[in-house]
């Protein structure tokens, strides 16, 4: 076993990761930690349930995603082309836009947030700002796309959010005919969401019981959930569209209402049609009793309902609109993201078709754990570095299997829970998906995950590079691992090291020609930064000779005219989730 594999050993448990098998009670609420997950029971009025959540999870909420998003997205804007002005502009913009979004929060959600603030001791407005941040940022990104200023790079930095893949099977596609709904939740918060992952059982005074799969401090169940009527719900975001508009219902509100009130697909459709969103979303709702599926696509100007025929028996979805008119609003500003999106959609449906008739919870979880193309662990993988939540629902009998561990949560153990008993349900059996990859591949990916966190959260490019070098020791034939190491090297001024890393990536090759073109672009820049102008010019021309994303060819032409500088390298924004630079 190598040193890097030993380095992959789990860290010493902290207060949040230690098992707490006994229930700890507060009012009508209770909490315990088992199988690596928080289990929370909430009961009463909206305010009471919020207060129970806050009091039981006071410390965990402070380490969880709500404070992280509030601080993290401010940093993202601060590192964008708004530059130093962002520190003055963004707080005011967030206050104006965020408060405008918040003005449409319905009273039940306000009461929940008030209770959460009272129980946790956190300022109410901070929680509101965290809850409205996704829609406020989508609106800003959409507005920047409309005016093309200060450029799509800003839009990229702040709109890359929910990715997500869903796979649904029922009828003759599954072993026992029961409907299964599997879902990966791909989002920011790699360093905090999985660590405070929570299975939250809601028993409101008004409405049905439901379970939401979230993280400490996420009070509403409108993203990934299942109710006692046998309905499941997952949400997918559509990025790079300029149709976001203020004045609509914030995300998670409509979904939470569906879980509390809907007893059929028709009920869910009626609730969704009664609201107008801020951003661009898709809701996937299934009914385990009737084996119906609703794919509800929307933006502020249009919605479209697609219901697969029952005899179809499978349905896979990522983040590509099926409705033609809605699809026309999506803009391919970032080729690596768009190819990845299409690949996840295609692969989910291919795997569902290949396993038709044999699908069970294990098989559905294995779809979520798919590592993508044999030659590249990143560019077509369903299981991503940003996969912070993974579930398999079986709504007919109210069982949900929840992925555990660090991202990607789809690779490891899925622990079963019962909505009926509001607790861990060992009778359903634990699912294990670790066999999808070798121990070396998993360990290398863990170093890549750590590099992502070092770069994005800690802003430590040197530490990120060191983690990528450890990943390469374990998986030397992963071209994009070398490419990321090279980008980090260039940013910290090691032009020769960057050129060597890019040469290694090119020697290995990549199934996407566009990726190979980008490797030539960045090797050219490394040569230029090292003073090797002829080598740089040769690589820029090689880039132009290949099929590439338009921004990559534009960059190569610009570099041939103007050259390249170390200062530009320092300002580059590396997207570790796609192993690329959106605007080179």
Provide the residue ranges of all domains of the chain, joining segments of one domain with +.
45-158, 161-192+220-417+427-438, 441-581
Give 183's contacts (C-beta < 8 A, 6+ positions apart). 164, 165, 166, 167, 224, 234, 284, 368, 389, 390, 391, 392, 393
> Has residue 162 got a pLDDT over 70?
no
Please tell me which of 16-25, 101-110, 289-298 the model is most confident about, judged by mean pLDDT.
Answer: 289-298
Mean pLDDT (whole number) for 228-241:
91
> Has residue 6 got a pLDDT over 60?
no
Give 230's contacts (C-beta < 8 A, 6+ positions apart). 287, 288, 289, 395, 396, 398
Which residue bears the tokens 């939401």? Answer: 212
**DSSP code for 412:** S
> What is the pLDDT of the chain when averaged over all its residues?
90
pLDDT at 270: 98
> Has residue 263 got a pLDDT over 60?
yes
Q: Are 259 and 212 spatial neighbours (Cβ–Cβ below 8 Å)?
A: yes
Give the other-Cβ count within 10 Å of 443's Cβ: 24
Mean pLDDT (whole number) for 132-161:
56
Beta bridge partners of 418: 399, 423
Please tell me which of 72-86, 93-107, 464-478, 570-584 the model is most confident about, judged by mean pLDDT.
Answer: 464-478
Q: Report how far residue 376's alpha carbon sits from residue 216's, in angstroms, rounded to the nearest whole number.
A: 33
15-54 b/e with 16+ CB inside 10 Å = b? ebeeeeeeeeebeebbbbbbbbbbbbbbbbbbbbbbbbbb
Q: How many CA atoms, within 13 angstroms, populate the side-chain half-sphere of residue 49?
A: 25
In CATH, what is the architecture of 441-581?
Alpha Horseshoe (1.25)
pLDDT at 93: 62
Class of domain 161-192+220-417+427-438: alpha beta
10 Å CB burial of residue 427 (0-12, 13-18, 19+) is: exposed
pLDDT at 123: 92
Q: What is the 3-state secondary structure (H, E, C) of 59-117?
A: HHHHHCHHHHHHHHHHHHHHCCCCCCHHHHHHHHHHHHHHHHHHCCCCHHHHHHHHHHH
pTM: 0.93
Q: Report how far residue 562's alpha carbon sits from residue 574's, in angstroms, rounded to the nearest whole number.
A: 22
Q: Are 483 and 497 spatial neighbours (Cβ–Cβ below 8 Å)?
A: no
> Has residue 148 got a pLDDT over 60?
no
Peptide bond into 54 cis (omega under 30): no
């Amino acid at each position: 076993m190598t040193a890097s594999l030993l380095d992959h050993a789990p860290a010493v448990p902290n207060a949040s990761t230690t098992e707490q098998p006994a229930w700890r009670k507060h009012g009508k609420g209770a909490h315990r930690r088992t199988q690596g997950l928080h289990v929370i029971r909430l009961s009463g009025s909206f305010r009471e349930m919020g207060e129970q959540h806050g009091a039981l999870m006071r410390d965990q909420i402070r380490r969880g995603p709500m404070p992280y998003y509030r601080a993290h997205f401010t940093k993202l804007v601060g590192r964008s082309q708004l530059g130093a002005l962002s520190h003055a502009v963004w707080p005011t913009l967030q206050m104006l836009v965020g408060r405008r979004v918040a003005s449409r929060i319905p009273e039940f959600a306000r009461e929940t947030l008030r209770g959460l603030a009272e129980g946790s001791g956190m300022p109410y407005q901070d929680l509101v700002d965290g809850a409205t941040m996704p829609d406020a940022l989508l609106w800003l990104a959409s507005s920047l796309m409309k005016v093309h200023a200060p450029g799509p790079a800003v839009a990229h930095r702040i709109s890359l959010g929910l990715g997500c893949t869903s796979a649904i099977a029922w009828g003759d596609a599954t072993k026992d005919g029961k409907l299964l709904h599997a879902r990966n939740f791909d989002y920011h918060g790699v360093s905090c969401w999985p660590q405070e992952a929570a299975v939250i059982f809601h028993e409101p005074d008004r409405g049905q019981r439901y379970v939401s799969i979230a993280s400490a401090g996420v009070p509403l169940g409108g993203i990934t959930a299942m109710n006692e009527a046998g309905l499941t719900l997952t949400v997918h975001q559509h990025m790079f569209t300029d149709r976001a508009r203020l004045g609509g219902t914030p995300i998670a509100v409509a979904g939470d209402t569906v879980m509390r009130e809907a007893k059929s697909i028709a009920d869910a459709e009626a609730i969704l049609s009664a609201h107008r969103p801020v951003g661009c979303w898709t809701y996937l709702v299934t009914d385990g009793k009737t084996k119906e599926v609703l794919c509800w696509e929307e933006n502020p100007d249009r919605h479209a309902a697609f219901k697969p025929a029952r005899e179809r028996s499978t349905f896979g979805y990522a983040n590509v609109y099926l409705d033609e008119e809605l699809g026309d609003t999506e803009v391919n500003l970032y080729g690596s993201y768009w190819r990845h999106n299409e690949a996840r959609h295609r692969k989910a449906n291919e795997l569902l078709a290949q396993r038709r008739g044999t699908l069970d919870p294990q098989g559905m979880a294995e779809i979520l754990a798919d590592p993508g193309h044999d030659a590249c662990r990143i560019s077509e993988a369903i299981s991503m570095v940003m996969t912070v939540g993974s579930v398999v629902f079986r709504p007919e009998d109210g069982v949900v299997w929840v992925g555990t561990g660090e991202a990607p949560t789809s690779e490891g153990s899925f622990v079963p829970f019962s909505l009926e008993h509001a607790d861990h349900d060992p009778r359903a059996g634990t699912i294990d998906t670790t066999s999808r990859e070798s121990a070396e591949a998993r360990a290398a990916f863990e170093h890549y995950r750590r590099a992502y966190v070092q770069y994005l959260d800690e802003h430590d490019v040197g530490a990120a590079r060191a983690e990528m070098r450890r990943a390469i020791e374990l998986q030397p034939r992963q071209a994009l691992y070398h490419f990321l190491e090279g980008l980090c090297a260039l940013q910290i001024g090691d032009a020769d090291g960057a050129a060597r890393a890019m040469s290694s990536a090119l020697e290995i090759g990549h199934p996407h020609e566009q990726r190979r073109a980008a490797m030539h672009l960045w090797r050219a820049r490394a040569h230029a930064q090292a003073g090797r102008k002829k080598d740089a010019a040769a690589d820029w021309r090689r880039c132009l000779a290949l099929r590439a994303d338009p921004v990559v060819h534009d960059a190569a032409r610009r570099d041939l005219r103007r050259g390249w500088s170390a200062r530009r390298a320092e300002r580059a924004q590396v997207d570790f989730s796609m192993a690329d630079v959106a605007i080179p």
